[in-house]
Chains A and B, each alone.
Chain A
Amino acid sequence: MDKKIAKKVLSKALATGADLAELYVQDKISRVVQLNYRRVDNVSTTLTYGAGLRLMLGVQQVYGYTSDLSEESLMALADKLAAYFDGKRLLDCGEFKEIKNPETHKPQKEASSLSVADKIAYLKKGEDAIYAESPLIVNATCALVDNDEKVEIFTVTADGARLVRDRRVHIRVVAQAVAAKDGAFEVGFSGPGLSKGAEYLEEVDFVEKAKRAAKTAVALLDAPECPSGVMPVVIGNQFGGVLFHEACGHPLEGTAISHNTSPFAGKLGQKIASDLVTAIDDGTHAHGWGSECFDDEGVASTKNVLIENGVLKNYMVDTFDGRRLGMKPTGACRRESYKYLPTTRMTNTYIAAGKSTPEEIIEATEFGLYCVSFNGGSVDPTTDKFNFTSSETYIIKNGKIDHLVKSPTLTGFGYEILPKIDMVANDCELAAGMCGAASGSVCAAVGQPTLRVSEMTVGGKGETL
């Protein structure tokens, strides 16, 4: 975006008294190669290209977006948004001060250097591994998605005019296996990804991930139903972190806190979890799936300790919600694209490692569930009532992993679960996920070590305990 045009647009937008004006310009290319149904099923490219203009005055904001980036179109949008306020100009748009980008997540090898043929050959190995696992496999989906996004964020506040440029690259490989027997279907899935380039494909063992997905799908076919009731639940590392993401992460976002629609509102400094829980949202994590050098309102990403040894230390805060809260932004204001008004979102959110080993946790559990991985879940931030579905689940008996069961749903209230985390292992790892909320679907990593919740409500179709 030409700085002169940005200056004219923001200047016009500020004419009626807004105290902040921001122009977000996005240029993103997404490439997908997918094998499905034993063939190359999808080779496609999508351009996401447009601008969002945001004005704030106190705790009101107006937003507009367009995919027409001509000066005429942007000036018309500025005019339309400025008309919402009727005051006198408070700010002028001076020269933009460009903030230096540390380029922490720069790829070593551009994903664009990979040909479609290279990608197909890479995925084919995963596809072959899935079908080779069992004749019960009825479909394998293997996909490679890479995004290359460039954003420019021009912002004018009482502190002056600034410009932030950020490039975000993401690469993700997905393996999904569907197994069928006697009319029943089961699914196994793996989808690792990072903010990296083509080099990631050499770092991840895709064939192993694909095999694992196939094994899970096949094994689930003969697995008995999961019992239901209240029981201890050991939750695995990596995508097991969806527990914290759902039960605690969302209710700690500024939007819920600033509107007092979260059970954690007004509880800074209070004990909300067991002593074993330290939780962090870290947008700075090098090459993390949810990392970015600057967030989508141009604030530098931070490593934000949310809970420390069970005590609530901070929230995730963006500029707008920070106005209600009297807090500074933490660099976690995000949006899927220019079509979304940005708001506080998680980046890479995880529970820090503890001192136990995963084996010690299993051994210490006489009877319970071991949820290795999850399909995902959701939460009502107002009540903190959450649910998530386990995708690979075992019964623990007498301190040993006993047998696989079909997927149950775990439910509860986040504020009740956090104090019940009674063992935390030392194997913290993160995993890639897509988080959908008010500002669209964003890349968000979840993570944790293996941990145990002393009791949770488990909904399965088996016997009631």
Chain B
Amino acid sequence: MDMNKLYKAAAAAGIAPFETRIRKENKITIELFNDVVENYTVAENGSIKVRGLVDGKGGVFSSDRVDDEVIDIAVAAVKDSAEYGQPVDPEFFLGGKDLHYEEVKTFDSKLAEVPATEFIALGKKIAKSSLALDKRIESVNIQVEYDFEETELKNSNGLNVGQKTNYVMIYGSAKAVSGELVESGSYYEILSELGGFDADGFAKKLVADAVDQLGGSSVKSGKYKVVYSPDCVAALLTALKDGFSAFNVEQHISLLEGKIGEQVFSPLFSLEQTPIGNDPFCSAFDSEGVPCKNAMLIDKGVPTGYVYDLDTAKRAGVKSTGNGVLQGGNVRPAVGYTRVVPGDKTLEQLFEQVGDGLYITGLGGIGTGLNPQSGAYSLQASGYLIEKGKRARPVSLITVAGNIMTDFKDVIAVGNDEKKTYYATKTPSVAIKDLSVSGL
């Protein structure tokens, strides 16, 4: 697409300021069934999102088609959208001057050079290793995906920022069979570089997740002390993150409204937003081009403040925290990449502290069973009993019911087993007390 032509067409149509967000993506995906490549996918793709003001009101348009034929469509769609759009302050389209971005390292040039054959070999190695580890493993699916993304954010006021990100995600699932018993397991890792990746270690964790769950059964209903695995903690935190949005606070739909500065959660629980760093989820700027910064969201159990985009910040008389996210047709504040500050206990020490309880490693139905407005949840769960401070038999067919506000108030210990999860949160395991468990 001829960008000059697009900007000129927008200006001629009275769209000012005008913003473009161009995204280019390369992807290689290899899917193996056992150690045979079944699907191999390559992609080179692009997309454009444009935003602009017409008579002070905001309009948007997005398209995968990025050629000159879209220019007229885009301009017409922005005008149509803006006719009913919300008033947006023109100063929210930042100029490029006086903006200082911290460095993020989200692109690894060596990773970009890795040929597809190496990803295939890696997948085969994991598959073979998994199948060889335990004869109860009947089949495995291994997916190795390389993603590259380049984003460029520009506007007619002079903003021009960009970022390149690449990473590899390896995902495995396994089916374990023992007599009449059938169980599935899964494991994944998100990698910024391939150096140091332990294929055999990956296979061990994948196989253990399936085999160790064989024969899992329910437990007696009641209140239990629970250790949530990193993936479970991250899944539950998705709802808590929404509570920090200053927009949600304005709309009185935030769990954290009126709770800033109060000891709402356990002093053992701290949550930091970490957009600046070396992980693939990091970003130096938000959707409005505002520099991102690392900041504590919950410091020893005390929420420290809400997150803002330019619009909510102006209304609140504060500065944007660099949390503007373009959602649908609007920029709204949202928390991105976060980290639960790890404790100093190993997983085994968490079990010892709990004594008797449950170690929950799987939560099902997060999308429907967790109410983001109330924080209440009732979810299918699986994992293990903890007996006398040790991990014991597998547990299945139970539901856990709680509320994230009380869960994170009831934290009794935080582990040191940090994991980078695909919920855009890096977190260790967390132990909490008094969770309602429905079983037998």
Q: List the interface of chain A (C-beta within 8 A of B).
A: 32-34, 37, 39-50, 59-69, 73, 77, 80-81, 84, 116-117, 120, 138-139, 178, 180, 184-187, 228-229, 259-261, 263, 339, 341, 374-378, 380, 382-383, 385, 387-389, 406-409, 411-412, 457-461, 464
Contact = CB atoms under 8 A, between A and B. Distances in A.
Given A43-B84, A77-B44, A383-B184, 18 more contacts: A41-B329, A42-B328, A44-B60, A45-B61, A48-B63, A49-B65, A61-B40, A67-B46, A81-B42, A180-B252, A187-B371, A228-B399, A378-B368, A388-B365, A389-B378, A459-B399, A461-B401, A464-B221
Nearest to A458: B438
Interface stretch (B8-16, B75-83, B187-195, B417-425): B75-83
Given A67-B46, A459-B398, A43 B81 contact: yes
Interface stretch (B31-39, B96-104, B294-302, B426-434): B31-39
Interface of B: 33, 36-47, 59-67, 70, 73, 77, 80-81, 83-86, 138-139, 141, 173, 175, 182-184, 218, 221-222, 251-253, 328-330, 364-365, 367-369, 371, 373-374, 376, 378-380, 396-401, 436, 438
13 contacts: A32-B328, A42-B330, A64-B41, A68-B44, A68-B66, A376-B367, A387-B369, A409-B369, A409-B378, A409-B399, A412-B397, A457-B438, A464-B221
Contacts of A39: 86
Contacts of A59: 38
Q: What is the predominant secondary structure among interface residues of chain A facing chain B?
A: strand
Nearest to B400: A459
A62 B39 contact: yes
A61 B18 CA distance: 43
A22 to B, nearest CB: 14
A383 B378 CA distance: 21
A409 B38 CA distance: 36
A60 to B, nearest CB: 6
Contacts of B436: 461
Contacts of B173: 382
Given A42-B329, A260-B138, A411-B399, A187 B42 contact: no
A48 B47 CA distance: 9
Contact of B253 (A63, A81, A178, A229): A178
A44 B61 contact: yes
B182 A49 contact: no
Nearest to B398: A459
Contacts of B328: 32, 34, 41-42, 44
A460 B376 CA distance: 11
Contacts of B368: 374-378, 388-389
A43 B364 CA distance: 34
A376 B365 CA distance: 8
A400 B83 CA distance: 52
Nearest to A37: B251
Contact of B378 (A81, A139, A261, A408): A408
B70 A409 contact: no
Contacts of B86: 39-41
B253 A139 contact: yes
Given A62-B41, A116-B84, A378-B367, A228 B438 contact: yes
Contacts of B73: 47
A42 B328 CA distance: 7
A117 B368 CA distance: 33
A263 B182 contact: yes
A214 to B, nearest CB: 15
Given A47-B73, A259-B33, A387-B365, A228 B63 contact: no
A167 to B, nearest CB: 18
Contacts of B38: 59-61
Scoring A39, A73, A138, A261 by chain B CB atoms within 10 A of each residue's CB, the highest score goes to A261
Nearest to B251: A37
Contacts of A464: 221-222, 438
Q: Which of B183, B222, B365 has the most CB of A within 10 A?
A: B365
B330 A41 contact: yes
B45 A387 contact: no
B63 to A, nearest CB: 4
B83 A116 contact: yes
A45 B329 CA distance: 9
A385 B371 contact: no
A380 B42 contact: no
Q: What 8 pairs between A and B have smallest CB-CB spacing?
A: A459-B399, A228-B438, A185-B373, A387-B380, A382-B184, A47-B63, A375-B368, A49-B65
B329 to A, nearest CB: 4
Greatest chain B CB density within 10 A among A37, A43, A49 is at: A43
Given A120-B84, A459-B438, A50 B64 contact: yes
Contacts of A63: 39-42
B40 A84 contact: yes
Contacts of B65: 47, 49-50, 67, 69
A34 B60 CA distance: 14
B396 A385 contact: yes
